[in-house]
A and B are shown apart, each in its own frame.
Chain A
């Protein structure tokens, strides 16, 4: 009995001394951050993205477009939160969520039109893992709420942690 207790304590101490839980890191690669809000060229990159939407027609095309935009805005949100630009980061994460939500319907449409979506589903699962991985790290560093006080308007409370939790939920 004492021997089992000793082994249990040993295992417990090993895990207790490690840096928290260990996750298998996703091999999915997110893009580099592009132009950030505030940069003069940001509006141009936004227009380019909006226009390129029409180039990405078809279910697979839309899948690629929505996933790339979800990736882009997630990286943007992460960078902005790191610089404590909570309002801008909040908006970027909102956009990332919107694009990510669209992806599933693209796959459903592709499947309904007889396309094999196995590879795309795999791709989406990997992307989801990576997104969740990034979001979990983001959650650790942001405050619970942020009060945004615009000029000539009443202040608004941004529930940052809640938004990140919702983002994780969408990706599950």
Chain B
């Protein structure tokens, strides 16, 4: 058990250090730390990333599946995870954080409507040097844009401070989500809080999906006690990234006491998994979209197979970064490799689970 914990934290530390190998060459604010390693040594970068992922998922798998022997306080592990990953470079795997900052700047610095004005229209703005999708208007809901005023103002016009203010802001929602899960069911905490996909996509890449899920969980948490707050919380969640719109049927059923207990989480997880599967029709199956259903599957701990399958699937989703990391190309064979890498771990795990069951029967 100790080895698993040591491996887990060593991998996190290494990941934080390694994330700085991915600094964008145009990010002048971090010029001092730029090495160009991820561009010069693409294959090595991919191998190191694979190594970190494997170590993280294996240790997490062992910790979650042996939590009865677990002596270390969960709070300390979560706190240490946050501290280590807070200092990582956020644009290692995705550039979304730059997009959040740019959209906030359009709204709260230039006082323009980010749903109408493209970032590219602010010719000469230094953020355009490294922000992606500058030819698109705001991609997220109005509540998210409103919320980003907090980290943007906290950044006081300094880019590095703004970058880490956004990271800290996302960390708060991760802590809030863990807190809510703990309030709803203590035994669900570890599965969510230590899942490497959740941890990397939230504490490293700072995706706003955790904010959306925090408000969705808050809505379910308050559903019996503070109904008005609960409704507004679900509305807030929907107005962050719209995906939780698919929770409305489960929410209504729960509101009317038609479903109770674990059934709520099962149907919520199923609904969010359904919208997750629909995402390729809109754009692409991004790994961080798994944050939409993982919080609900955390409560389904009685189904060990399902939880392990989610963990293996999370691993597969995180492997999706490798083809681009290794080739620098989004096209050609990359989409095929991505799909294969996502599905392969799941197929192997299912085959293993099936044969293990068969073997037990013969025994």
- Given A58-B110, A61-B112 in contact, is the A116-B123 Cβ separation under 8 Å? yes
Residues of chain B with a CB closer than 8 A to A12's CB: none
**A115: Cβ under 8 A from any B Cβ:** yes
Instruction: Bits for B92-119, please: 1 = Cβ < 8 Å to A, else 0.
Output: 0000000000000000001111011100
- The reply to whether B123 and A60 form a contact with Cβ atoms under 8 Å apart is no
B23–chain A nearest beta-carbon distance, Å? 27
Residues of chain B with a CB closer than 8 A to A126's CB: none
**A56: Cβ under 8 A from any B Cβ:** yes
Summed over the interface, the residue pairs from A and B with CB atoms below 8 Å come to a total of: 36
- The reply to whether A58 and B123 form a contact with Cβ atoms under 8 Å apart is no
- Given A58-B110, A58-B111 in contact, is the A115-B116 Cβ separation under 8 Å? no
User: Interface residues of A, CB < 8 Å — how many?
Assistant: 14
- The reply to whether B123 and A64 form a contact with Cβ atoms under 8 Å apart is no
**Chain B interface secondary structure, helix, strand, loop or mixed?**
loop
- The reply to whether A115 and B110 form a contact with Cβ atoms under 8 Å apart is yes
- The reply to whether A61 and B122 form a contact with Cβ atoms under 8 Å apart is no
**A83: Cβ under 8 A from any B Cβ:** no
Instruction: Bits for A99-116, please: 1 = Cβ < 8 Å to B, else 0.
Output: 000000000000001011
Q: Which residue of A lies closest to B111 (CB)?
A: A58
Residues of chain B with a CB closer than 8 A to A32's CB: none
**A59: Cβ under 8 A from any B Cβ:** yes
Cα–Cα, bound, A64→B122 (Å): 14
- The reply to whether B111 and A57 form a contact with Cβ atoms under 8 Å apart is yes
User: Interface residues of B, CB < 8 Å — how many?
Assistant: 11
**B121: Cβ under 8 A from any A Cβ:** yes
Interface residues of A in 141-165 (CB under 8 A from B): none
- The reply to whether B121 and A57 form a contact with Cβ atoms under 8 Å apart is no
Residues of chain B with a CB closer than 8 A to A25's CB: none
- The reply to whether A56 and B116 form a contact with Cβ atoms under 8 Å apart is yes
Cα–Cα, bound, A57→B107 (Å): 10
Residues of chain A with a CB closer than 8 A to B117's CB: 58, 60-61, 64
Cα–Cα, bound, A59→B106 (Å): 12
Cα–Cα, bound, A120→B112 (Å): 15
**A55: Cβ under 8 A from any B Cβ:** yes
- The reply to whether A64 and B116 form a contact with Cβ atoms under 8 Å apart is yes
- The reply to whether A119 and B113 form a contact with Cβ atoms under 8 Å apart is no
**A118: Cβ under 8 A from any B Cβ:** yes
**B124: Cβ under 8 A from any A Cβ:** yes
- The reply to whether A61 and B123 form a contact with Cβ atoms under 8 Å apart is no
Most chain B C-beta atoms within 10 Å of own C-beta, residue among A58, A64, A118, A119 = A58
Interface residues of B in 95-153 (CB under 8 A from A): 110-113, 115-117, 121-124
Q: Could you list some 26 contacts between A and B, CB below 8 A? A: A55-B113, A55-B116, A56-B113, A56-B116, A57-B111, A58-B110, A58-B112, A58-B113, A58-B117, A59-B112, A60-B112, A60-B116, A60-B117, A61-B112, A61-B113, A61-B116, A61-B117, A64-B117, A113-B110, A113-B111, A115-B110, A115-B122, A116-B123, A118-B123, A119-B121, A120-B121
Residues of B within 8 A of A (CB): 110-113, 115-117, 121-124
Contacts A58-B112, A60-B110, A116-B123 known; 8 new A-B pairs at CB < 8 A:
A57-B111, A57-B113, A60-B112, A60-B116, A60-B117, A64-B116, A113-B111, A120-B121
Which 7 A-B pairs give the minimum distances between C-beta atoms?
A58-B112, A116-B123, A116-B124, A61-B113, A60-B117, A58-B111, A60-B112
